[in-house]
Amino acid sequence: MQPTMLTMHGITFAYPDAPEPLFENVDVAFPVGWTAVVGDNGIGKSTLMAIARGNLRPDAGTVAPDP
C-alpha cells in the first residue's frame, strides 16, 4: 500500500460560543512524511489537527483520506 497525502479543502470551524469562525475556507495539503505544524499560539493549530484526526468535525469542508 502506498502512503497517501492528507488534504483538507474548504475547512471552516467555529466554536459554539465564538463570535466568528476560528478559520474559514482553509485549504491545506500535508505531504507524505510531514512532521509538524508550526505557528503562533492561539491560531488554531490544535483545532486543525483535531479535525484532521477526526476528533472534531468541521462546519464545512472535507478531509481526505477520511479520518
16-29 per-position pLDDT tens digit: 999 999 999 999 99
Residue 53 grid cell: 484526526
CB under 8 Å to 12, separation ≥6 — which residues?
Answer: 21, 23, 24, 25, 26, 58, 59, 60, 61
For Cα atoms 52, 54, 60, give the angle at the middle one, nearest 5 degrees.
75
Q: Which residues constitute the domain of residue 56?
A: 6-64
Least confident range from 6-10, 14-18, 29-33, 59-63: namely 29-33
Mean pLDDT of 39-45: 94
User: Quick check: is 24 in a domain?
Assistant: yes
Question: Is 1 part of a structural domain of the chain?
Answer: no
Would you say residue 40 lies in a domain?
A: yes
Look up residue 50 and give its three cell numbers.
483535531
Query: How many Å separate Cα 36 from the centre of its chain?
Result: 13
Number of domains in the chain: 1
pLDDT of residue 67 exceeding 70, the answer is no
- pLDDT above 70: residue 3: no
Q: Is 42 within the bounds of a domain? A: yes
